[in-house]
Amino acid sequence: MNLAIDIGNTAVKWATFEGRQLAEHGHGLPADMLGRADDILACASGESQLSGFNVPVLTSDMPLPIRLDYKTPSTLGADRIADACGAAALHPGEPCLVVDAGTCITVDFVAADGVFHGGAIMPGLKMNLQALHTFTAKLPLIDIEGVTKTPVLGRSTEESILAGTLGATLLALAGFVALFKEKAPGLRVVLTGGDAGHLMASGTGGWEHVPMLTMIGLNEIMIHNDK
């Protein structure tokens, strides 16, 4: 059994795999889980703590099932590496654009030959909403939880903030998708991350939502290193 652990900004999540088959997943980490696993790999992309446990953590120096074509691999986030490995495993031989909508939103391109070419980092939805509230005198802090549809034309201050934040993010992502579709026909767009649901609800037709993408990638890396 392989145990994948995602240490994010707000929570520690885990998943177990039998081969490539997802077995269990959850939040936190059961005390007996480490002892049950044959192989363990963690992705430490945030500030949450895994207190009392010493587990191997993914770095760019580890043998990977993809090749990194990146100027500064030592600064490349472990979550971006894991997501790219997961997308390449789900769609072998196909170009993929990987969108991870978390605290920040990352957009990364993995070519059909399994080479990671880098991408873009932009503020996440909650970060944008917090910035509007923090750096202005009168704009309220909007809670995005429960928002199921983006207003195209805001008819109140709250709606206008949502239209600007979600709308601008979706338009930016659509622009990246259009750009890379020109470079890589047959491009797959794979979406993951805590805020992926908000983007899906607001209009991302044709994108594939894979909530467990980071875990799938970590498992692929463990499989690759067991060969």
Give per-residue pLDDT as tens, 118-138: 999 999 999 999 999 999 989
Using a cut of 0.85, tell me whether the model's pTM lies above it: yes
The CATH fold of domain 2-124+165-226: Nucleotidyltransferase; domain 5 (3.30.420)
Answer yes or no: is pLDDT of 203 > 70: no
Domain boundaries in the chain? 2-124+165-226
Known catalytic residues are: 79
Rounded distance between C-alpha atoms, residue 94 and residue 96, angstroms:
6
DSSP 168-201: HHHHHHHHHHHHHHHHSTT-EEEEESTTHHHHHH
Q: Determine which helix (DSSP H) or strand (DSSP E) holds 40, and give its type and residue range.
A: strand 39-44
Q: Give pLDDT tens digits for 43-63.
A: 987 777 776 677 899 999 999
For 7-11, 69-73, 94-98, 216-220, which range has the lowest pLDDT when averaged over its residues?
Answer: 7-11
Answer yes or no: is pLDDT of 204 > 80: no
What rounded mean pLDDT belongs to the chain? 91
Rounded distance between C-alpha atoms, residue 180 and residue 222, angstroms:
29
Using only C-alpha atoms, what is the Rg of the chain? 18
Percent of the chain with pLDDT over 70: 96
* pLDDT tier at 116, thresholds 50, 70, 90: very high
Higher pLDDT, 54 or 155: 155
